[in-house]
Structure 1
């Protein structure tokens, strides 16, 4: 039975892909050319395409009041890379079954793919009862013994209880409130159910507004997002991916059961390649699609280029930001193979608590106060601008607080006087300001800094990496090394001239390839080229937000003793 392309997308389960469609009729038939993202193709009545995926291409946004579209609100088109972070407003329309949730909501192994719902009524299972209003986390969809079910969990008394719910389970299921913040791209990929719109509220963490923004200045309200989908398809006798928007006026028919699906090329994402076993490497592939504006060195990759994918692995990087006060601050991921050298730059510390975190057994921390602080306790020291201190250690001290003696954490320091030292105690809650005094003139490699010092750490390139044609770090006035992260990479080289190889990030480069089945000429990969990767503002916040929380210091102590 024929249907419009849009209806087909709304009815399709992603787990059923790929599907083979035959063009039935439409305004773009009769041998007309249809061009999308530079890929020109002819869609004629009777043509057959293999749909390998679909995703949201853009969002139509309307400003809403009280979760309803304002009658005076104009619709604006927002690209997925539109800046800003957003909170998702829980959908008040219930789902009537687990099957509807599994079909419309993205459930998967990533950190975004665990939606939470609650039932309006108790659900009795064999072992226990899920109470109405209790938060249920949906973790994955699995098939066992011919029956499909959703793996779920509830948390009671800090204990997680796992169970399965069959797709046939009916009821009234509502979304739980979500306190996380997301980029528009994350929301489009994971947080917009099929056949539904999504209301989002802009977070207080906003980029600088400019006149080209489609949203009003200082806008902090809600938006209703309506998705426009894009179908990714493969046509016979073509080696590229065709992108077709869901509002294209054509009718299609699903002919998967009557067609040999293996007669089409099989596009693979970098994630697909990374999921292959290590024994399958190396492999030869041809690039089917790569972003047109890729940053160096990935701009050396192009559609139709044959590459050798040598291996997959995890690699360490240091996330760094330029030390600038303006909005043009750039962010980088620096590999441990970087051959340049760095000299230290002074660090700034807003509180005594930050001094304790930065304190090291290797050297004594020397700082100058940049802000005055008057202590409310006579037992503790009052700081003046220009006071210099050598940081000693964390200890406790007895102070008089509201007529009672109380033990509080303090930072023991030595104040540097003109001809002597004075032992003083600074309260940990002290809001002051300190700048580090650098005595160390040594030049360090990146690996030495990560081994010997706590991050964050301020530096400037003193010797650039001569193996890099253009060392972008050398031009920076200063860098702050923020944290060390681990990410997934593939090592690739050109199949025609394997002189050098590159590391490409699996999750930050949207590239599609198909395997050629050719023999690899040499099993030993060429020497990898060192590449400093510049990351966008959105990528930077994603990297920082999802790093291991154990790397981060605990919350600062209260400002006053309690």
Structure 2
């Protein structure tokens, strides 16, 4: 059993029930039955039934504890059973009292175990049949003693099969039985119901499923065994286990518990006809109520979830034990708006068609050609302006676009991509055919320029659908629209701006946005509601998107009879991004995804990659070969990167420093001319770079720079020896 006998009712729990009910329970203790036995005797035709608990039980380890709530039945509690659902069958072994459960769809078959106790008369045996005689015939029994009927004598142990009951007016009822004689000779005899003897029922060959056994109250009172003798030979008692759907007095939700709960109950249906049980209703169930049920005051039994998709002022007040006035039910036309993405978080709004503000259209922005295609399908003749340059990629079929180019979308067709190899197969993709429009005429163009513009008007541009881009819609519409007119005259989505706010909305949240996007229009089943202390300020509750339970009450309405207040309806309701994404899932479940770019030819790509690598390698070697010439050119007085000055020659302590002769004296002694500055004349060794480069023609050599360094050192040494120190 799931339940365990435990905590009894406290004094406060006992005092919460009316005294007549406790008195009725005390008077009916003699007829108390276990809950499982009582529920097994019920069917759907006799519901509802009101039961009173005679012994309390703490329902421990049940499904209600798992779901976060506890259920405890205390003495005196009233339970109104409103529904039953067969869950499983409890099998009890009579030999050792072991119990196990089988699902109701168990495929095994069962045979009836005959009673061992003999019956003294035929009438007693027939009255103890589990079901009506007509529905269980034929069945077989034997007599332990010899029987004589008129001229027929039957010996002890003879098997008799009951075929029917013979009823004649003015005569005793008799049963017609079939008797199997010797040598396959059979006969029929009529046995009066008052015949005495020791009669024992024989085992029948008929087999039953669990469904058949549970559907017959007579069969449920019998003992059974498995047809398959390898499972269990011992007799079993089968008991149904139902899931009970019930209402409880002073409880505000529907309880569901198994009938195997160990609690004793008594039927008090006739005594408690005037007891009012709270009936919780969900919002969709409230919508299905007749019009006569409105207006009404309701109690909130379960408030909305904390993760509700609405962000509005009335939502926090829908808490448990609060009251609402339901004015009417119906369907409301709404528009879903969203703010554009920016540094601030994106916001979403549900706006009623009764919104009184005025809107002006705003140009839409598109970030791909596919978005252009979708928009053009909804509004033909779409014109856009390019807002960002797009470089031409010839091998992928992407044309070049410049900022300011104006395009008019014509239609969608297929285009062939250019093929780099003549043997490769051409790829065909979907593309958007557009006309490139000329720039506006300033009136100063001559005839030749006019002809060029006419040619530009006929210029066609094919944009693959997978092509990225940045476009802005070209609009010349300055008209102001109502919200309901925008939904009728234009296809969605549509970008708008509020140019005049609704005067009936105290703080219009839509007026502060530079641009809003109309995402979709919808018809939502709603309940117009208000709070009792502010019955003239109404709001609409979309029943599809808010989960809560309420109960109708008989409380009076918060206004004089026949004088309902004039309601002012909240026309703007902010919703969360969860609402927007869930709505998108419902609306765009069948939309195809944007197309993908075509696959590139991997062989051609690898060839391009290898060729680019080779070119890079060649350029690298060429740069290295030019390095010596560059270094030689840097050895000038005008160079920014001079080599470090040579250190002075070593001077011995015992010798005086050497005397350097003047330039003029040295020059006159030789040729009468001044010697050229050797440090400036260093560009002459450039002539020697040619053979050096020829010696370095081996591209595999990694030490080309070593020869260059040795040459530089030699030249620097010669320059050092020719420098004149003063």
**TM-score of Structure 1 vs Structure 2, range by shorter chain:** 0.5 to 0.7
How far is 1:393 from its partner? Answer: 1.0
Q: Does 1:372 align with 2:384?
A: no
Find the counterpart in structure 2 of residue 282 from structure 1. 294
1:350/1:431 contact within 8 Å kept: no
Residue number among 351, 357, 367 corresponding to 2:374 in the alignment: 357
2:435/2:460 contact within 8 Å kept: yes
Per-residue CA distance 1:190-235 (angstroms, 9 max, x = gap): xxxxxxxxxxxxxxxxxxxxxxxxxxxxxxxxxxxxxxxxx99976
Find the counterpart in structure 2 of residue 291 from structure 1. 303
Find the counterpart in structure 1 of residue 337 from structure 2. 320
Distance 2:490 2:342 in 1: 24
Per-residue CA distance 1:524-552 (angstroms, 9 max, x = gap): 88445033222233333222212375xx7
Q: Does 1:513 align with 2:524?
A: no
Q: Does 1:241 align with 2:277?
A: no
1:21/1:51 contact within 8 Å kept: no
Per-residue CA distance 1:142-176 (angstroms, 9 max, x = gap): xxxxxxxxxxxxxxxxxxxxxxxx9969xxxxxxx
Distance 1:331 1:384 in 2: 34
User: Closer, same or farther in 2 for the Cα pair 1:168/1:457, shift >3 Å?
Assistant: farther
**CA RMSD of the aligned region, Å?**
5.2
Find the counterpart in structure 1 of residue 518 from structure 2. 481
Map 1:149-548 to 2 at 5 A. Answer: 236=249, 238=250, 241=252, 253=263, 255=265, 263-278=276-291, 280-289=292-301, 291=303, 295-299=312-316, 307-325=324-342, 328-359=345-376, 364-370=382-388, 372-376=390-394, 382-396=399-413, 399=416, 401-402=418-419, 408-417=430-439, 420=453, 421-422=456-457, 423-437=459-473, 438-493=475-530, 498-516=535-553, 521-522=561-562, 526-527=566-567, 529-547=569-587
Structure 2 unaligned spans of 5+: 6-34, 61-66, 84-101, 108-208, 213-243, 420-424, 442-452, 601-726
Q: What's the TM-score once normalised by structure 1's chain length? A: 0.52
In terms of fraction of residues, the more strand-rich structure is 1
Q: More deviation in 312-321 or 44-53? A: 44-53
SS in 2 for 1:372: coil
Distance 1:44 1:384 in 2: 80
User: Closer, same or farther in 2 for the Cα pair 1:557/1:511, shift >3 Å?
Assistant: closer
Q: What's the TM-score once normalised by structure 2's chain length? A: 0.42
SS in 1 for 2:587: coil
1:377/1:399 contact within 8 Å kept: no
User: Closer, same or farther in 2 for the Cα pair 1:425/1:288, shift >3 Å?
Assistant: same
User: Which structure would you say has the larger Rg?
Assistant: 2
How far is 1:483 from its partner? Answer: 1.7
Q: Whose relative contact order is higher, 1 or 2, with alpha carbons under 8 Å and at least 6 apart?
A: 1
In terms of fraction of residues, the more helix-rich structure is 2
How far is 1:489 from its partner? Answer: 0.8
Count matched residues.
372
Distance 1:529 1:275 in 2: 22
Per-residue CA distance 1:438-490 (angstroms, 9 max, x = gap): 44333332222222322222233332222122322234453322222222112
User: Closer, same or farther in 2 for the Cα pair 1:341/1:363, shift >3 Å?
Assistant: farther
Distance 2:564 2:408 in 1: 51
User: Closer, same or farther in 2 for the Cα pair 1:463/1:539, shift >3 Å?
Assistant: same
Per-residue CA distance 1:45-82 (angstroms, 9 max, x = gap): 554466999xxxxxxxxxxxxxxxxxxxxxxxxxxxxx
Per-residue CA distance 1:496-520 (angstroms, 9 max, x = gap): 7653533211123333332235788
